[in-house]
C-alpha cells in the first residue's frame, strides 16, 4: 500500500498538465496518484485511475492529499471547504523551474506551473493558480482563489482581490507604492487585455487599453 494517496481534483486538461508536476515533486516517495472527478469522465487518464470523490474518501490509505486543478475559483473554494470538513490535507505544487526570490509569502494549496516567477516582497493568499510563463513582480498583494491563465504579466505594486481571473497574455500596468493598481474581487481580465487603471469588482475588462465589456444586446445585425 502506498504511504500517500494523492488526488488531483479535476481530470480536465489543466488537471492532466498538473499531474506530471505532482509526480516530479513527490519523486522517490511511496505515493499513488489518482484523478478525482465526479463528472462523466473515463475510468483512467494518463495512466492514473479516475475516482469519484466518495471513492477517493473510501480508499484505504495512511494519508490522503489533494490538489485542486480547477480553474473556476468559486468551485475551487467549495471543493476546498468540502475536503477540509473531511480532514483531507491539501498539497501545494511548484514546478522545478519556478523562480521565487526574496520575502515572498504564498498561502496553502497554490499551483505554480513551469516557467512561473515570483520576484520580491509579495504576499499571495490561498489556492492561487499561476499557469505557465506567468509572473508576479515586486510589492504585489494577491488574495485568495486568484487564477492566472498562461503568460500573465503582473507588474509591481498591484493588488488583486479574491477570486479574480486574469486571462492568457494579459498585462497589468505597474502601480506605485502610494497608489497600487487594484483588480477588484471577482473581476475578470480578458485574454490579451492591457490593464492601465483599476478594475472594479465583478466586472470583465477586455482590449488595449482594457475597458469594461458590455455584451451586445439582442436585435438585428447590420
Residues forming the active site? 138
SS3 136: strand
Q: Are 201 and 182 in contact, with CB atoms under 8 Å apart?
A: no
Number of other residues whose CB lies within 10 A of the CB of residue 117 = 16
Of the candidates 163, 44, 140, 34, the residue with the CA atom closest to the CA atom of residue 88: 34
Q: How far apart are CA 1 and CA 92, in angstroms?
A: 23
Q: Are 22 and 91 in contact, with CB atoms under 8 Å apart?
A: yes
Residue 133: HSE in the Cβ half-sphere, 13 Å Cα cutoff: 7
Please provide the DSSP assignment of 43-100 as one string. SEETTEEEE-HHHHHHS--SEEEEEE--S-HHHHHHHHHHHHHTTPEE--EE-TT-EE
Residue 114, all three cell numbers: 513551469
Residue whose C-alpha cell reads 505544487 in the numeric block:
93
Residue 69, all three cell numbers: 486543478
DSSP-derived letter for residue 38 is -
The C-alpha R_g of the chain, in whole angstroms, comes to: 19
Amino acid at each position: 500500500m502506498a504511504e500517500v494517496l494523492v488526488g488531483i481534483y479535476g481530470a480536465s486538461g489543466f488537471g492532466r498538465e498538473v499531474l506530471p508536476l505532482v509526480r516530479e515533486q513527490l519523486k522517490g516517495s511511496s505515493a499513488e496518484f489518482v484523478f478525482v472527478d465526479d463528472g462523466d469522465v473515463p475510468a483512467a487518464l494518463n495512466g492514473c485511475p479516475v475516482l469519484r470523490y466518495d471513492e477517493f474518501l473510501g480508499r484505504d490509505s495512511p494519508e490522503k492529499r489533494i490538489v485542486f486543478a480547477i480553474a473556476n475559483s468559486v468551485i475551487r473554494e467549495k471543493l476546498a471547504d468540502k475536503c477540509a470538513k473531511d480532514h483531507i490535507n491539501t498539497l501545494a505544487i511548484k514546478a522545478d523551474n519556478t523562480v521565487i526570490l526574496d520575502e515572498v509569502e504564498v498561502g496553502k494549496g497554490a499551483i505554480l506551473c513551469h516557467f512561473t516567477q515570483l520576484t520580491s516582497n509579495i504576499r499571495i493568499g490561498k489556492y492561487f493558480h499561476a499557469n505557465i510563463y506567468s509572473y508576479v513582480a515586486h510589492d504585489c498583494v494577491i488574495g485568495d482563489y486568484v487564477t492566472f491563465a498562461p503568460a500573465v504579466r503582473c507588474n509591481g505594486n498591484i493588488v488583486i482581490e479574491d477570486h479574480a481571473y486574469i486571462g492568457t497574455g494579459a498585462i497589468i500596468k505597474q502601480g506605485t507604492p502610494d497608489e497600487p493598481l487594484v483588480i477588484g474581487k471577482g473581476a475578470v481580465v480578458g485574454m490579451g487585455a492591457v490593464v492601465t487603471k483599476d478594475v472594479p469588482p465583478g466586472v470583465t475588462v477586455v482590449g488595449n487599453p482594457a475597458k469594461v465589456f458590455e455584451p451586445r444586446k439582442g436585435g438585428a445585425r447590420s
